[in-house]
Structure 1
Amino acid sequence: MNKKAVIVVNLGTPETPTPGAVAKFLKQFLSDSRVVEAPKLLWWFLLRLVIIPLRAKKVAHSYGEIWLAEGSPLRVITGRQVTALQNQLDEDVGLGNTVVCEAMTYGEPSLSHTFQRLREQSIQEYVVLPMYPQYSGSTTGAIYDQLSAIIRQSRDVPDISVIKSFHDHSGYTDCLVQSIRDSWEKNGRHEKLLMSFHGIPQEYVDKGDPYYQHCLGTAEAVAEKLSLEKDQWAMSFQSRFGPKQWLQPYTDEQLKTWATNGVKSIDIISPAFTVDCLETLEELNISYRELFLSEGGEHYHYIPCLNDAPEFIKTLATLVKTKLFN
């Protein structure tokens, strides 16, 4: 059997929690037209002369609040996922039949360098696993763009399969449900459950991006499996950026509304993220906690991402095997 490769892809991260490293990362990330759809020349000037100088120091401070001794949480936990998935596939399909590695859409290790390294090992068959359960052109779409560039530069085009999304995969939603139930058993169940997804501009959805429907599908599946009534949970969107209207309701406004209406305790989880990172560890677990408590809330419990939980790794292995061996 020819060895096959699995490339686990996430967004990326600065190399260090410093303004310089953050500025370098933001320049690459926010220059992608998949992420920000704006007139190129105008955006070039705004990004370099206004946005990055204003945001780099603040974002670096936020990274500093969550940075681990081993490095960026996203990189550290992704590494654990890769190791766990490699072990699971070795057990399922035999030692030496697959090689699992990581790549980042922005920053290092880049997708192109990862492919180059794997092709030097004479690997011809690949499964690319974006770690975004819900597809959006601004995330998974950007990975397809980079894969297209790799293909265009290849005389011998590699055999590439992409797991476009797994927002409605029963194994994935079961893992979310079990994570929530485990939290309730350990920490007690609170009045409301908020499922907060990363936002995108509303106009992207208006143009045909399926992201909102994927998020809704995930949230409704989790709520149904937990037997929640409509007034016991909500779906919201976080991390908006710039003046455009983004998907609503916004997470911060939902938290304020609940607190104003007398809700004293909530559980919050972000099914859009499979790895704890800046948007979960700092935005959800620190900033929004402070917001809810300042508005009159009393108990705010953040439920971590699935990360390298064994059942989630088994679900990823199932997704990969379906692509590689069926």
Structure 2
Amino acid sequence: MTTTAPRPALTVLLATPRGFCAGVDRAIQIVERAIEKYGAPVYVRHEIVHNRHVVERLKALGAVFVEELAECPVDRPVVFSAHGVPKAVPAEAKARRMLYLDATCPLVSKVHVEAQRHYDAGRQIVLIGHDGHPEVVGTMGQLPDGAVALIETVEDARAFQPRDPANIAFVTQTTLSVDDTAEIVAVLRGRFPEMAASHKEDICYATTNRQEAVKSVAARSDVLLVLGSANSSNSVRLAEVGRRSGAAAYLIDDADGLDFAWLEGARVVGVTAGASAPEVLVQGVIDRLSASFDVAVEEVDAARETVSFKLPRVLVS
């Protein structure tokens, strides 16, 4: 009679909240509803959200992803991604008489409104964010060239030379590291005490909540697994926050990206997902771990989210 060796015990700490935020959920629904209403294909300018699995699923439903509006025929609907677009994009769509649906996250739109408000008041705008990220491109594209100065690091904040030190305002990308951004803002405020700010925090509630949840989980974990794509800013930030909180943190697309060598000697593994990563990916990781370990799952609650955003009226009528 042969006996099977017992599987090693492993505690999995699930960070809550994790995964889809309200803005991502709304953007995906806009593409799905547009396909239902208008039929395939529906064009989407840029990835609707930064997650490979979401994009592939929507492609299978009939979405066609492009980078520029010029790639879209005028007789099919086009959806603008959750990250937001420069003002020139809807202006071009109108000029071409295209049917377009704006899936920009309302919290990104809020940053656009704040930037415009400061610009109208005559202030130079400082945008804290990552160069080339579509959200940053969209925010800078709300205002004329040269109106927005991009700051990515503390070093940039120290070197920044405004036109008028007494007349500047700052806004931020919504998916930044809360701690990194606070450090940059502190440097700017130290140099420019009169610097104006948005009425409310620009880093969105979902980014903040997920980072706080990761801090709680990572502090108790040997290894942290973050589900999300490499081009997802908020997912990359979660892995960074996890490392700073003491865990060996890895960003993976799905369970196939899990390397069991990472888990040698580990007794506690934290698991979370970026705001654009579906929950099915989390379950896939738990299932893969359960095949090799005696897994005990524990939810770690940092916050409860009840936010939801309305869909465009044309899709609900």
Instruction: Output the TM-score relative to the length of structure 1.
Output: 0.38
User: Highest relative contact order (Cα 8 Å, sep 6+), 1 or 2?
Assistant: 2
Q: Which has the higher helix share?
A: 1
Instruction: Output the TM-score relative to the length of structure 2.
Output: 0.39
